[in-house]
Amino acid sequence: MTEEELLQSAAKLGEDAVSGLDEQRVARAVLERLASEPVATPRRVGSTVRWLAGVAAVAAAVLLLVKPPTPPPGAASPASLSVLHELDDLSASELQLLLESMPASAAAPAHPDPAPLDELDTKSLERLLRSLEG
């Protein structure tokens, strides 16, 4: 067999199988199958991510509801501001005495101010000291 004959024989291989094939029918069958079974997507990964995002959103909502909003640093509320620098050097017992000497409401006005210590004479001071010693 010459080379030319060999090539011609090879070119004719499969002609019988192709001649019996209905391309239109095959194409229809492929399309129908595709329509009935959609192409599989990486569904598990996508659904897991969506599920996690949902959980995170719920957690964030719960945190927002449960945790009171914290003010930004440096933004103290007026009620929490310290205005009395003269208290800084007082001890707890002195502060307690100071607090007790402050009237709690307008019903007990602070105007009748008792004399400070330096206005008391020696006898008064001695009496005061004795009364403090019990």
Q: Site residues (CB under 8 A) for other proteins?
A: 78-79, 81-106, 108-114, 116-117, 128-129, 132-133
The encoded tokens of residue 42 equal: 């990486």
| Least CB distance to other proteins at residue 41 (A) | 53
| Least CB distance to other proteins at residue 123 (A) | 16
- Cβ contact 3:10 at 8 Å: no
Cα 118 to Cα 96, 114, 122, 125: the distances in Å are 21, 12, 10, 9
| Residue 94: CA count within 13 A, CB half-sphere | 6
Kindly tell me which of 17 and 129 has the beta carbon lying closer to other proteins.
Answer: 129
Kindly tell me which of 70 and 93 has the beta carbon lying closer to other proteins.
Answer: 93
| Least CB distance to other proteins at residue 74 (A) | 12
Kindly tell me which of 10 and 110 has the beta carbon lying closer to other proteins.
Answer: 110
d(CA 24, CA 34): 15
Angle 84-89-92 (CA atoms, 0-180°, nearest 5)? 95
Kindly tell me which of 14 and 78 has the beta carbon lying closer to other proteins.
Answer: 78
| Least CB distance to other proteins at residue 127 (A) | 12
